Amino acid sequence: MFDTVLVANRGEIAVRVVRTLRSMGVRSVAVFSDADADARHVREADEAVRIGPAPAAESYLSVERLLEAAARTGAQAVHPGYGFLAENAGFARACEEAGLVFIGPPADAIALMGDKIRAKETVKAAGVPVVPGSSGSGLTDAQLVDAAREIGTPVLLKPSAGGGGKGMRLVRDAAVLADEIAAARREARASFGDDTLLVERWIDRPRHIEIQVLADGHGNVVHLGERECSLQRRHQKVIEEAPSVLLDEATRAAMGEAAVQAARSCGYRGAGTVEFIVPGNDPSSYYFMEMNTRLQVEHPVTELVTGLDLVEWQLRVAAGEELGFAQRDVRLTGHAIEARLCAEDPARGFLPSGGTVLRLHEPEGDGVRTDSGLSEGTEVGSLYDPMLSKVIAYGPDRATALRKLRAALARTVTLGVQTNAGFLRRLLAHPAVVAGELDTGLVEREVDGLVSLDVPEEVYEAAAAVRLDALRPRGDGWTDPFSVPNGWRMGGEPKPVAFHLRATGHEPVTHTPRGTHTVTEDHVSVTLDGVRHTFHRGADWLGRDGDAWQVRDHDPVAASLTGAAHAGADSLTAPMPGTVTVVKVAVGDEVSAGQSLLVVEAMKMEHVISAPHAGTVAELDVAPGTTVAMDQVLAVIAPTDDGEQETA
């Protein structure tokens, strides 16, 4: 076994890997960019090395700096986690050339399975069922159109390189194939530097089921059952569980054997995942989709139902050990479900969020596990992936696991950063989810009913209670009657105290407290109409049942003065914290309604800022590279004064 392992990643997965290294008595080395100097993974590792500035290209994606860090600390092996360089064949080869063990599959297996076209042809030759579609690499647009017409619409266009849904296009009308192919190529080229496409038959209401495999260097390959990953939004998984309610024992065994053959076909070693697309009405008709040559985000659910530590087995296999068990020894016991907690605001179209973690509570125990990279004081910025943590629940059956996970999400507190915890809790209570009637389009179909758009009255009541409490006199002795917030006024009836408040993303309100209140440093409770509501509090944030609201003081006078300063003009503000990457206009330019003016990027998401109406750029406060906060003014467009203004 290794003495020292460098973890070439950050956040929750780095913390997760360090935990297993510590339990095995292996020294851990963390790496960090300037933005992560005080991060949790840095504090929990035995040693940490700065590897560069905040941008990932100059730190976590720098092969040279990672190898230098390994050499400086005497590391014998590198664990890549997931994301960044985890599925980079060049990094795996560079580690080998530097005399380091790459804790993952051979570079050739990574390269083969990273090419969707070659991967599909390889596993097909090994007898693994594949989705009907195009064959061969480097197809022209015309060849792709011909293949699509032969398959019959609807079809799915997919980039051969990369993943995460980027560049994927569902085409139901053959008449728009040429345009969709061109668009898919542009996005694939921008995302992966490779515009090679393939086309596959689209399966309506499919389920996404993946099989976890483990392979050693002695010819042993086993599967550890399946994970159901059908709950997705924009092709990104949000909830995963093991096992799937769809599969019976015979289908599970058949899919598991297919996954084992897929792993053998590329000479796999270590932990990997073979992903299948499965028609919901016919689970026996499963098709290979791709192989992820790394540890998956959702690996904890497999760990909980098998009792195996997958990171430990990655280390043991990489150190040359043989698997200590055979397929007949693998047992799936109970049920586990995972929810991905992300820095995003469901009420604002799931735009990335950010900020400082002011209050943090992450549930643990009684069948609940949280894998997290957070701590109070953590700065969540816009440079890296939005996933913050994972909450996982285990029970003897699915109903119990669902109930525990919903309760755990309700207890999760991340004040200071808006997250999707409340959305996930409501999703897990959806009747179709409870019944196990899942498909990859369910979340998108039901999303509107799962997002909480209105601010409940008790939130404003709690915000007012905090402010009212701050006004109350403290200590003993004489109290100035004019300082007591009781609404008293000379020569008239008491006038109730009112507070001008504004919840982020909502219009300002004037709220007069009417209930009873209890305020402490960490909590505020209010009773309205006989119902008691308790919130976590931190600065101007309130949280309850996974939802959170930032409620600030609103100064109507200052707001009116600001409005007067921009009379007859419209301010364009940043919809999320991020970085301005593109500026297409200058002050004085004439613009048309809907014209693209700027692009703001955060956490791998781009948001185009467009002109709300025809007019002139009166102010422009940013340039490419400018870091902006949410709601920061970017530009001001003075409308065209022609009596018939064109609006977007």
Question: CATH 3.30.470.20: which residues of the chain?
Answer: 206-442
**Mean pLDDT throughout 555-567?**
63
**Mean pLDDT throughout 328-347?**
97
Start-to-end CA distance of the chain, whole Å, equals 63
- Whether the predicted pLDDT of 478 surpasses 70: no
Q: What is the pLDDT of residues 238-287, one digit of tens each?
A: 999 999 999 999 999 999 999 999 999 999 999 999 999 999 888 888 99
**Mean pLDDT throughout 41-52?**
98
Question: How far from 62 is each of 50, 159, 240, 552, CA to CA, in Å?
Answer: 12, 25, 31, 41
Number of other residues whose CB lies within 10 A of the CB of residue 159: 24
Question: CATH 3.30.1490.20: which residues of the chain?
Answer: 132-201
- Answer yes or no: CATH 3.40.50.2300 is held by domain 132-201: no
- Token duo for residue 540: 């101007």
- Whether the predicted pLDDT of 640 surpasses 90: no
Number of other residues whose CB lies within 10 A of the CB of residue 449: 9
Asked which of 137-146, 159-168, 247-256, 377-386 is least confident by mean pLDDT, the reply is 159-168
**Mean pLDDT throughout 630-645?**
76
Q: What is the pLDDT of residues 8-28, one digit of tens each?
A: 999 999 999 999 999 999 999
Question: CATH 2.40.50.100: which residues of the chain?
Answer: 567-639
pLDDT, position 485? 64
Residue 619 bridge partners (DSSP): 636
Residue 335 bridge partners (DSSP): 395
pLDDT, position 268? 98
Instruction: Name the nearest CA neighbour of 6 among 60, 80, 65.
Output: 80
pLDDT, position 455? 96
Most confident of 87-96, 347-356, 382-391, 560-569: 87-96
pLDDT, position 568? 45
- Whether the predicted pLDDT of 105 surpasses 90: yes
- Whether the predicted pLDDT of 477 surpasses 90: no
- Phi-psi category of residue 18: left, alpha or beta, with phi > 0 → left and psi -120 to 50 → alpha: alpha
**Mean pLDDT throughout 493-507?**
85
Cα separation, 280 vs 395, whole angstroms: 25
- Token duo for residue 377: 């004081």
- Whether the predicted pLDDT of 183 surpasses 70: yes
Half-sphere exposure of 387 (CA within 13 A, CB side): 22
DSSP string, 509-576: EEE---SEEEE-SSEEEEEETTEEEEEEEETTEEEETTEEEEEEE--HHHHHHHHHHTTT-EEEE-SS
pLDDT, position 164? 62
The class level of CATH for 567-639 reads mainly beta
Asked which of 147-151, 403-407, 476-480 is least confident by mean pLDDT, the reply is 476-480
Indicate the helix (H) or strand (E) that contains 67: helix 63-73
- Whether the predicted pLDDT of 7 surpasses 80: yes
Cα separation, 583 vs 599, whole angstroms: 7
- Mean pLDDT over each residue of the chain, to the nearest integer: 91
pLDDT, position 561? 63
pLDDT, position 70? 98
- Whether the predicted pLDDT of 213 surpasses 90: yes
pLDDT, position 567? 45
With bands split at pLDDT 50, 70 and 90, how would you rate the model's confidence at 643? very low
Question: Which residue has tokens 């093991």?
Answer: 242
pLDDT, position 133? 83
Asked which of 74-78, 121-125, 198-202 is least confident by mean pLDDT, the reply is 198-202
Indicate the fold that domain 4-103 takes in CATH: Rossmann fold (3.40.50)
Residues 6+ apart with CB under 8 A from 46: 27, 28, 29
Question: CATH 3.40.50.20: which residues of the chain?
Answer: 4-103
- Whether the predicted pLDDT of 601 surpasses 80: yes
With bands split at pLDDT 50, 70 and 90, how would you rate the model's confidence at 502? very high
**Mean pLDDT throughout 196-211?**
91
pLDDT, position 556? 83
Give the residue with greater pLDDT, 477 vs 342. Answer: 342
pLDDT, position 471? 84
CATH of 206-442, one of 1.20.120.1200, 3.30.470.20, 3.90.1150.10, 3.40.47.10: 3.30.470.20
- Whether the predicted pLDDT of 645 surpasses 60: no
- Whether the predicted pLDDT of 171 surpasses 50: yes
Cα separation, 367 vs 331, whole angstroms: 19
- Whether the predicted pLDDT of 484 surpasses 80: no
Question: Which residue has tokens 């816009």?
Answer: 382
- Whether the predicted pLDDT of 399 surpasses 90: yes
Cα separation, 247 vs 170, whole angstroms: 27
Asked which of 38-42, 270-274, 562-566 is least confident by mean pLDDT, the reply is 562-566
- Token duo for residue 29: 């080395």
pLDDT, position 648? 55
Given a contact cutoff of 8 angstroms between Cβ atoms, the answer to whether 168 and 133 are in contact is no
pLDDT, position 138? 84
Cα separation, 114 vs 91, whole angstroms: 14
Most confident of 176-190, 254-268, 544-558: 254-268
**Mean pLDDT throughout 396-404?**
98
Q: What is the DSSP letter of 160?
A: S
pLDDT, position 564? 46
